[in-house]
Structure 1
């Protein structure tokens, strides 16, 4: 695990260095250039940990492309870091994809279905944009139809979608994939200089937050 994380960090550094220049690590990432500092702090749910939020949309091809790198990074994040995904509610099907995400989370099948949803949309051409299509997809993957109905229609899932929308607005999310760091910073691919470079900027900001504590 340590070796894999070391390789990942080395790759991130190699990708970032040509665009950001040489010199000390802190000087590479600047507010307003590589990330945006929030005027007001967004809510977090990580307690004493530094929280990193990935904002994504299932129908976004860039989110699909970013997923392998983010999944590898999230499996072994920096010490003292909590990572979570938050679906955005813009982009037409955003609200129903968010409901899909939180339904899977409530049913305890998110880990196995998250990648499958991306594959179904982007590789199989399925349009999971209505209740019937989503229900059929869950049933195909071993979820009882009645269990799906109870979760999909629950107040809990509706409230989670509302909280996701509120958090997206608090961070001022304008594009996906993007990252929020500890309620204080927002990182987009164009600002960071590329999708995978977002992870390098996130690690820099995580270190800043830990030092500040």
Structure 2
């Protein structure tokens, strides 16, 4: 006889797999599940599937989407190039963009991005000023002076400004937003849910391959 706990496990696993198959089997429609930019932007690497997430550390929807997106990125083959672009819809959000690029320059972006989001969304830390950011980074075991030198560097400030220009070029109006191959745009809000957005990304990935990575 199968125990109740085992039956519950089998049933919930079935529901999860059924939901996943259903999402992946749905028809993807341009204009509903994804959009095509009128002015496509050039990709950085030719012969690859380029995927960009436009995000903001302070966005609750970005924080909510992060586990699903990270899981998607981890299962991608080598022809998929993924990168994040921080969005600053207001000038007072630029410190967050600098924080992102400073951590990236120090080789700590992958390890720290989730921690930054957790601090902001679960520990109510605003991290809006250089002092707040530097103190928090130091509390994570990173040398404060080294971080500040990187944070204030010409390279990091330039990247933060370039990210703002890229956001404008792509006409990003909300986050998180996923852009693939410089022209296909989707998001949980466009697709209707996180699961559907991931399914749309899978669909677009295959479409880009079939089109031989053309823009």
Confirm or deny that 1:60 pairs with 2:68. Answer: no
Q: Deviations over 1:97-149 (max 9, x none)?
A: 11110010011111221111011011111110100010011111122122112
Instruction: Answer yes or no: is the 8 Å Cα contact 1:43–1:167 preserved in 2.
Output: no
Q: Deviations over 1:42-77 (max 9, x none)?
A: 132233211111111111111111111111111112
- Indicate the SS of the match to 1:196: helix
Instruction: Answer yes or no: is the 8 Å Cα contact 2:23–2:199 preserved in 1.
Output: no
Deviation at 1:211, TM superposition (A): 0.9
Confirm or deny that 1:80 pairs with 2:79. Answer: yes
TM-score, length-normalised on structure 2? 0.84
Corresponding residue number in structure 2 for 1:23: none
Deviation at 1:79, TM superposition (A): 4.9
Instruction: Answer yes or no: is the 8 Å Cα contact 1:34–1:191 preserved in 2.
Output: yes
Q: In the aligned structure 1, how far is the partner of 2:101 from the partner of 2:46? A: 21
TM-score, length-normalised on structure 1? 0.85
- Indicate the SS of the match to 1:39: coil
Q: Deviations over 1:23-60 (max 9, x none)?
A: xxxxx112211111011211322332111111111111
Instruction: Answer yes or no: is the 8 Å Cα contact 2:36–2:184 preserved in 1.
Output: yes
Deviation at 1:170, TM superposition (A): 2.1
Flag the 1:205–1:9 CA change in 2: closer, same or farther, 3 A.
farther
Confirm or deny that 1:13 pairs with 2:21. Answer: yes
Instruction: Answer yes or no: is the 8 Å Cα contact 2:150–2:156 preserved in 1.
Output: yes
4+ long deviations beyond 6 Å: none
Q: In the aligned structure 1, how far is the partner of 2:17 from the partner of 2:74? A: 13
Instruction: Report the structure number with the largest CA radius of gyration.
Output: 2
**Over aligned residue pairs, what C-alpha RMSD do you find?**
2.0
Deviation at 1:94, TM superposition (A): 2.9
Gaps of 5+ in 2: 1-15
Confirm or deny that 1:152 pairs with 2:151. Answer: yes
Corresponding residue number in structure 2 for 1:165: 164
Q: How many residues align?
A: 197
Corresponding residue number in structure 2 for 1:38: 37
Gaps of 5+ in 1: 1-7, 21-27
Flag the 1:64–1:171 CA change in 2: closer, same or farther, 3 A.
same
Instruction: Answer yes or no: is the 8 Å Cα contact 1:78–1:203 preserved in 2.
Output: no
Flag the 1:13–1:46 CA change in 2: closer, same or farther, 3 A.
farther
Flag the 1:33–1:135 CA change in 2: closer, same or farther, 3 A.
same
